[in-house]
Amino acid sequence: MAYQYSKISETDLPESFEKGKSFTIKVTYVLPTACHTAAGIEAKRGNTTGDQRRDIYIVAISRYDQNQAECNREDDDLEKEASFSLIIDEDEPYTFYLWDGYDDDAKSKYIEVEVPVL
C-alpha cells in the first residue's frame, strides 16, 4: 500500500471559537483517483509550546494498492469526509493550514484560515 495526501476541498470551521469548549471539525477531501481509498485525516499542532501551538495543520490521507494490476473503478464518488476534535484552551486566534497540493518545487501548499477566540 502506498499512502499520499489528498486535497482538502472544504471544512466546517466556525466563525469563532469559545475558550474552554471542544469543537468537532468536519473536513471534506478529494481522492486523487477512483483507485484510491480514504485513509482519514491528520491534524497536528505546529508546536507543543508558543504561538505555533495554535497553528493546526490538516492533511487528508488516501491509500493506493501498488500491487493492483489495473483499476477499472468509476470516478463517481471521490469526495470523502472525516472529522477531528479540538479543545480551545487559549485566548488568541487559531490558524488552520489546509493541505492544497504541491507547488512547482514539490513543496506542500496550504490554504490558511484564521479563527478568532471570543
Domain boundaries, the chain: 2-115
pTM of the predicted model as reported, rounded to 2 decimal places: 0.90
Average pLDDT, the chain: 92
Please give the backbone phi and psi of residue 62, each rounded to the nearest 5 degrees, phi first.
Answer: -120, 165
Task: Give 70-88 pLDDT, tens digit per residue.
Answer: 776 666 789 999 999 999 9
Q: State residue 27's pLDDT score.
A: 97
pLDDT-derived band at 106 (thresholds 50, 70, 90) equals: very high
CATH architecture of structural domain 2-115: Sandwich (2.60)
Q: How many residues does the chain have?
A: 118
CA proximity to 78, closest of 41, 39, 34: 34
